[in-house]
Amino acid sequence: MKILAVILAIAVLAKIVIIIITPGRYLKLTEKLLKNYQQQAMLIYSMLTIVVGLFVFAKLNIVDVAGVMLFTSLLIGIGLIPYTNAILTLRDEVLAQGLGKAWLSLLLWLGIALWVLYAVFWG
């Protein structure tokens, strides 16, 4: 778990430094990656989710993981609140296109929620 924590810390610090020093370069890179390599990014994120998940669930139970996920979700919310108009526009766009593109994410969140409830009430 320490290795994962160090990877997170280095990634966060590197991203913040890059955004502060060369924001234009960061914007160009992320735009290029997200526009041109969506499928590859989804594959990489999925593989990393599996690998990190194996390490996390080897050390923590689902209830502990869910608590950390709630904390992380709240941190993300704090970061996104200043961009309410963009988030509302995104919401409208997602609902207009349908949730089909988000099937994997929705399935994972549903599975985690059901697993947590099972672990708390019947496990």
pLDDT tens digits, 42-98: 999 999 999 999 999 999 999 999 999 999 999 999 999 999 999 999 999 999 998
Is pLDDT of 34 > 90?
no
Question: Vertex 11, ends 10 and 14: CA angle to 5°?
Answer: 80
What distance in Å separates the CA atoms of residue 123 and residue 119, rounded to the nearest whole number? Answer: 4
What confidence tens digit (pLDDT) does each residue in 13-29 have? Answer: 999 999 999 999 999 99
C-alpha atoms less than 13 angstroms from C-alpha of 103 in its C-beta half-sphere: 2
The structural domains of the chain, with segments of one domain joined by +, span: 1-59, 61-123
* Of the candidates 72, 58, 53, 71, the residue with the CA atom closest to the CA atom of residue 111: 53
More confident residue, 34 or 7: 7
Kindly provide the residue ranges of all beta strands, DSSP E only, lying in 1-123, ordered along the sequence: none
Q: DSSP class of residue 100?
A: G
